[in-house]
Amino acid sequence: MGERAAAGGGKWVDVAPERLPRWLENFERRHGAYRETGLTLTAEDGATATWHTPPGAGKAETIAELMEIARRPRRMGLLLARKGAVAAGIAVGAELVDSKVDRNYVQGRTAAGGWSQQRFARRRDNQAKAAAADGAGIVGRILLPSVRDLTVLVTGGDRAAVEAILSAPSLAPLAAIRADRFLDVPEPRHAVLVSAVAGARAVSVLVKEPA
């Protein structure tokens, strides 16, 4: 599904639950036979792959357990926010079953100085606060009624925007089930929200090639 560099070396690979058996076969073909130690594979050539359970899937002690629980349908909340745009939705398994997308205008930064810069900054701050308040309202309408049925809340976009929305006291129940995983997504639109479901479900694998 996607790869990104990992701090400290190696790379993160996101794998759809349904593709895990094939990914395992490819790992063995590239690196040779492997042994399992918990959720870490160590291949003949020294390559390692450490698997991490996806948000809301629970705990697993072995690779087989992780593969099984990752495929189970679970009810997840999604919150994406960036530059005044917000998208909130509920996914069951790989399907987005409820959603709302909205956008509020927030001015970009300017290089102007003096009093004009200060007025601009105040205006921009007020717009950002209004966008966060509107976003919190949308998230509350879509996600709060189902919060007890959600296994996790997965967020993404711009961290500051997400934090501003979740700082609303009424959304504390959602903030309490927020996952560590943060999705890197463009400005939230419906298509972006749909694709984010795959990112929320994926199993993240830390792969380190042999020295």
Q: Which tens digit of pLDDT belongs to each residue from 88-139?
A: 999 999 999 999 999 864 445 544 555 456 665 565 565 556 567 788 999 9
CB atoms within 10 A of CB 75: 15
Lookup: tokens for 78: 């999604």
Q: At what angle do helices 20-31 and 63-71 cross, to 10 degrees?
A: 150
Q: Which CATH superfamily is domain 75-200 in?
A: eRF1 domain 2 (3.30.420.60)
Spell out the domain ranges in the chain. 2-73+202-208, 75-200
pLDDT for position 55 = 96
Comparing CA positions, the residue from 61, 25, 56, 63 lying closest to residue 147 is 56
pLDDT for position 126 = 52
What's the predicted TM-score (pTM) here? 0.86
3-class SS shares of the chain: helix, strand, coil, % to 5: 40, 30, 30
Going by pLDDT thresholds of 50, 70 and 90, the confidence category of residue 45 is very high
